Amino acid sequence: MSDFYTNTYNPDVLLCLANLSNDEVFTPPDIVNKMLDMLPQELFSDPNATFLDPATKSGVFLREIAKRLLVGLEVEIPDLQERIDQIFHNQLFGIAITELTSMLARRSVYCSKWPNGPYSITKFDDAEGNIRFKRIKHVWSGEKCAFCGASKAEYGEEKRDDTKESHAYEFIHTKKPEEVFNMKFDVIIGNPPYQMSDGGFGVSAKPIYHHFVLQAKKLKPRFLSMIIPSRWFAGGKGLDGFRNEMLNDNHIRYLCDYENAMECFPGVDLAGGVCFFLWNRDVNGECEVTNIVNGEHFSSTRSLNEFDIFIRNGKAVSVIHKAKSLNEKMMNTQVTSRKPFGLPTNERPKNYGDLTLRWQNGEGAYPRSAITTGMDIIDKWNVICAKTAYDHAGSPGKDGKRKVFTKLHILPPRVI
């Protein structure tokens, strides 16, 4: 066995593999194994346990599962080749996201991109084995795909001929995902594509990873684990319904959150961080949440829907409990999101009136009669800041710190 692993997996090219983009991120083997550690380990000694990666890229999930099964089934199936055949033919299945990644995954798992060829460690009758790729077309409903919401202007047939990927992923472009392999799975695990261009201005993109999670739940596996961006914690841009379902799903037993995605995916900047979770069909209750910040781990067991918003860092929960016990006014009753006085950004002083209008390059007199909103706070002290920070919030700046707010300004009474 040691010779098999040495000859097959050394060096580990998947550890060095560069990511194609922030949309399709390859998973490092050590992260895959952290996800596999969440599963009941007796699964890897069960010759009937089945595993599906519905968004195969490098094949690393299937490969690492195979390594565990090869050890776990050694007593029950002593012959190495018989054991390999059992695992690869009957237990491991993948759906590739592109034709290229299908070949990469087969090379990682079968040691040959053609599993019916002479170099494959297990022989199949066809060139796909159990890692399939099927070119799918989007189903247009108006200007959007009915399944994934892709923009027809961006991904329509006139833009995407046979030489370009359609990014119509098979697993989420069907109403009956159970018919892809015509079987049930004990474990569905993987790292789905994160987003795709929605045809909006500049680099506008819409998330799609939640479609994979929701589709996997339809198959009712015993266990579901995926690694996805943490932006769903806050919802927004098509994620509000997904956020609501996830936070109220007490079958999520474990959630591991990296506030800085680079601690999980070296060299990949994902605003908002990244997380992976374990969903257990047969067990429910509170969730163990682990936050990882600058290498430090903090774990807490709690309900994800305890508050109206998801409290990301468990250390803050006790602070919130203490603050709520004081029964004082909360910040959400004292903060206005934008235009507190109803003024557009191009408004300037009128040089008369009893108020002072402050703007970027100075200040001047302004009449109270011109104010239509925020009348109750004009004569109070106020603190203001701009809407967005200077730096990208996805990763720390050169000083190792994140800028959340811009400069804070204190406004005395009658200054707007």
Which residue, among 393, 383, 387, has the nearest Cα to 406 in the 3D structure? 387
- Residue ranges in 111-208 assigned as alpha helix (H): 152-155
Give bridge partners of residue 361 from the DSSP assignment. Answer: none
Query: What integer pLDDT is reported at residue 368 of this predicted model?
Result: 95
Q: Which residues contact 334 (CB under 8 A, 6 or more apart)?
A: none
- 406 pLDDT exceeds 80? no
d(CA 128, CA 88): 12
- Mean pLDDT, rounded, for 343-359: 92
- Among 1-10, 135-144, 199-208, 285-294, which is the least confidently predicted range? 1-10
pLDDT band at 395 (very low <50, low <70, confident <90, very high): low
- Among 8-12, 86-90, 99-103, 218-222, which is the least confidently predicted range? 8-12
For residue 330, the Cα-to-chain-centroid distance in whole angstroms is 31
Query: What integer pLDDT is reported at residue 386 of this predicted model?
Result: 75
Query: What integer pLDDT is reported at residue 5 of this predicted model?
Result: 46
d(CA 224, CA 35): 10
* Count of residues making up the chain: 416
Summarised one tens digit per residue, pLDDT across range 112-170 is 999 999 999 999 999 999 999 998 899 999 989 999 988 888 888 877 777 778 889 99
Q: Is the pTM of this model over 0.85?
A: no
Assess contact for 238 and 204: CB atoms under 8 A: no
Neighbours of 205 (CB within 10 A): 16
Query: 375-413 burial string, b = 16+ CB within 10 Å, else e?
Result: eebbeeebeeeeeeeeeeebbeeeeeeeeeeeeeeebee
d(CA 85, CA 180): 22
Phi, psi of 223 (to 5 degrees): -135, 140
d(CA 159, CA 161): 6
d(CA 22, CA 142): 28
- 1 pLDDT exceeds 50? no
Task: Name the E strands within 142-183.
Answer: 144-145
Query: What integer pLDDT is reported at residue 11 of this predicted model?
Result: 46
Assess contact for 220 and 281: CB atoms under 8 A: yes
Q: In this structure, which amino acid lies at residue 282?
A: D
pLDDT band at 41 (very low <50, low <70, confident <90, very high): very high
Helix axes 60-72, 2-9, angle to 10 degrees: 170
Query: What integer pLDDT is reported at residue 407 of this predicted model?
Result: 78
Query: What integer pLDDT is reported at residue 184 of this predicted model?
Result: 93
The CATH number of 2-227 is which of 3.40.50, 3.30.700, 2.60.40, 1.20.1070?
3.40.50
d(CA 58, CA 61): 8
- 391 pLDDT exceeds 60? no
For residues 372 and 52, the model is more confident at 52
Query: What integer pLDDT is reported at residue 200 of this predicted model?
Result: 54
The two three-digit tokens of residue 37, written as one number: 């550690």
d(CA 287, CA 102): 35
Q: Looking up tokens 């799918």, which residue turns up?
A: 136
Phi, psi of 96 (to 5 degrees): -75, 150
Which ranges in the chain are annotated with CATH 3.40.50?
2-227
d(CA 167, CA 23): 11
- Mean pLDDT, rounded, for 89-114: 94
Q: Looking up tokens 């707007």, which residue turns up?
A: 416
- 14 pLDDT exceeds 70? no
Neighbours of 370 (CB within 10 A): 15
Query: What integer pLDDT is reported at residue 345 of this predicted model?
Result: 83
- In this structure, the dihedral spanned by the alpha carbons of residues 384, 386, 392 and 393, taken in order and rounded to 10 degrees, is 40
The two three-digit tokens of residue 59, written as one number: 């094949």
The two three-digit tokens of residue 50, written as one number: 């089945």
Which residue, among 312, 243, 316, has the nearest Cα to 272 in the 3D structure? 312
Q: Which residues contact 276 (CB under 8 A, 6 or more apart)?
A: 31, 34, 35, 225, 226, 227, 228, 255, 256
Summarised one tens digit per residue, pLDDT across range 49-77 is 999 999 999 999 999 999 999 999 999 99
Neighbours of 15 (CB within 10 A): 11
Query: What integer pLDDT is reported at residue 81 of this predicted model?
Result: 97
For residues 266 and 47, the model is more confident at 47
